[in-house]
Amino acid sequence: MAPLAPAAATAVAAKRGLGAAFIFQKALISALVALVLFSLMIGVRTEAGPEGQLIYWTRFGDLAAMVGTVFVGSIVIELLRHWWGPVETIRVVPARVTSGLALARRAIAPVLLIGTFLVPVIFYDQRYILDLGILVLTYVMLGWGLNVVVGLAGLLDLGYVAFYAVGAYSYALLATNFDLSFWVCLPLAGILAAFWGVMLGFPVLRLRGDYLAIVTLAFGEIIRLVIINWQDLTGGPNGVSGIPRPTLFGIPLDNSDDGLAALLGIAYSPTHRIVFLFYLILALALLTNWATIRLRRLPIGRAWEALREDEVACRALGINTTTTKLSAFATGAMFGGFAGAFFATRQGFISPESFTFQESALVLAIVVLGGMGSQLGVALAALAMIGGFELFRGLEQYRMLVFGLAMVLLMIWRPRGLIGHRAPTVFLEHNQAISSDVVKEGRG
């Protein structure tokens, strides 16, 4: 932080000296507000009694504890705030720091990649870590897929999980009904999801900003409701089970005579399949990443970014916004479809419960937290979010509460995401980094 100007410093010092009464007053008000807020919701507990009649009992102890927590918490927060002093919101990064960071940034991606490649080698015996790795990579892939729509094209999509669902159900239904193999279904799932992406794209072509958000949300819900209610095709709430496992280009990874283990003449172990799934999702995720990076350099990718920055200017430059938007939706949806097909083959069972709005919000949170448009940021955010989510597995009940709170606090702390930095794809003489704090977002 830059040294404070003398006047500001004395103001802070004065505040520190005067603080006690002020802080106490503020904490008291917070506690009073908390008392009213929690009075009925926490102070009284309702439950259906033996005859179906609602009964209630009081929990004044819990209420007092909550109000006390708010009182103390508010004092702590105020103290921290005074201690840190005013924080400058716009800062210009010095050149040396920038170059240091750029070096670290160049190093971190290869290190992460190699590390990820080595995970199945190092943790071969630890099923839990491998499963967690597969889960994180699935979200990395979903995040990268949504990043095309939200991060590059600036189209806010709250129904991304619909394409995930389309991919998963495409694979599940094709494989269980027609005995098609995973490698035939994977492109089909991608194409079907892309098709639905275009279907969603058409109505939203004329919409701007937040209208888009609600239409995509509605679209996601429509797909989910249709899946639940079209029982003949999808099995309704019961889902689809018995989805075949993936094969290594036709060679099954099981204990049979023509399985991979028998062919190679090694002892069979169920870990083979997990390791295979790990590398499969890693390959799919890297494919997404590679395609995104390539597309960004093509005219279509530049059109996406132009659309994100300013739609009106974009149109004035003669860019066809219709094809630009539709291609962004289709591309993002296709990757979502791939991820869905992978999800179906990994789980062996899918049901509509896996495709709720919460999933969409989680993926969107990963993209925004990662810093929109930053591939590395999305990967780190997926690792942090899913890993963090995993930490709270013991506290099943409080997990979503903590997740919601974390979303709020992270947005307040870093509204631009973890990597709030964007390198321009086109530059004149040398690549100069811009801190995204000073970049203004267009309302696309």
In whole angstroms, the minimum distance from the beta carbon of 53 to other proteins comes to 8
In whole angstroms, the minimum distance from the beta carbon of 323 to other proteins comes to 18
In whole angstroms, the minimum distance from the beta carbon of 235 to other proteins comes to 15
User: Could you list the residues that contact other proteins (CB under 8 A)?
Assistant: 33, 36-37, 39-42, 44-48, 52-54, 56, 150, 156, 202-203, 206-211, 213-215, 217-219, 221-222, 225-226, 228-229, 310, 312-313, 357-358, 361, 364-365, 368, 372, 397-398, 400-401, 403-408, 411-412, 415-416, 441, 443
Q: How far apart are CA 208 and CA 213, in angstroms?
A: 9
CA nearest to 156, candidates 224, 209, 200, 102: 209
Q: How far apart are CA 416 and CA 429, in angstroms?
A: 27
Indicate the residue among 208 and 294 with the shorter CB distance to other proteins: 208
In whole angstroms, the minimum distance from the beta carbon of 333 to other proteins comes to 17
In whole angstroms, the minimum distance from the beta carbon of 45 to other proteins comes to 7
Q: 52 phi and psi, to 5 degrees?
A: 85, -10
Indicate the residue among 81 and 245 with the shorter CB distance to other proteins: 81
In whole angstroms, the minimum distance from the beta carbon of 40 to other proteins comes to 4
Indicate the residue among 53 and 83 with the shorter CB distance to other proteins: 53
In whole angstroms, the minimum distance from the beta carbon of 220 to other proteins comes to 9
Indicate the residue among 245 and 414 with the shorter CB distance to other proteins: 414
Indicate the residue among 294 and 443 with the shorter CB distance to other proteins: 443
In whole angstroms, the minimum distance from the beta carbon of 400 to other proteins comes to 4
Q: Radius of gyration over alpha carbons of the chain, in Å?
A: 26
Indicate the residue among 248 and 402 with the shorter CB distance to other proteins: 402
In whole angstroms, the minimum distance from the beta carbon of 155 to other proteins comes to 11
3-class SS letters over the chain = CCCCCHHHHHHHHHHHHHHHHHHHHHHHHHHHHHHHHHHHHCCEEEEECCCCCEEEEECHHHHHHHHHHHHHHHHHHHHHHHHHCCCCCCCCCCHHHHHHHHHHHHHHHHHHHHHHHHHHHHCCCCHHHHHHHHHHHHHHHHHHHHHHHHHHCCCCCCCCHHHHHHHHHHHHHHHHHHCCCHHHHHHHHHHHHHHHHHHHHHHHCCCCHHHHHHHHHHHHHHHHHHHHHCHHHHCHHHCEECCCCCEECCEECCCCCCCHHHHHCCCCCCHHHHHHHHHHHHHHHHHHHHHHHHHHHCHHHHHHHHHHHCHHHHHHCCCCHHHHHHHHHHHHHHHHHHHHHHHHHHHCEECHHHHCHHHHHHHHHHHHHHCCCCHHHHHHHHHHHHHHHHHHHHHHHHHHHHHHHHHHHHHHHCCCCCCCEECCCCCCCCCCCEEHHHCCCCCC
Indicate the residue among 116 and 324 with the shorter CB distance to other proteins: 324
In whole angstroms, the minimum distance from the beta carbon of 144 to other proteins comes to 17
Q: From the CB of residue 153, how many other CB atoms can be counted at a distance below 10 Å?
A: 27
Indicate the residue among 39 and 269 with the shorter CB distance to other proteins: 39
In whole angstroms, the minimum distance from the beta carbon of 121 to other proteins comes to 37
Which residues in 286-313 are b (16+ Cβ under 10 Å) and which e?
bebbebbeebbeeebbbbbbbbbebbee
Indicate the residue among 199 and 287 with the shorter CB distance to other proteins: 199
Indicate the residue among 376 and 406 with the shorter CB distance to other proteins: 406
Indicate the residue among 165 and 260 with the shorter CB distance to other proteins: 165
**Chain-centroid distance, C-alpha 179:** 33
Indicate the residue among 334 and 372 with the shorter CB distance to other proteins: 372
Q: From the CB of residue 197, how many other CB atoms can be counted at a distance below 10 Å?
A: 27
In whole angstroms, the minimum distance from the beta carbon of 369 to other proteins comes to 8
**Sequence letter at residue 209:** G
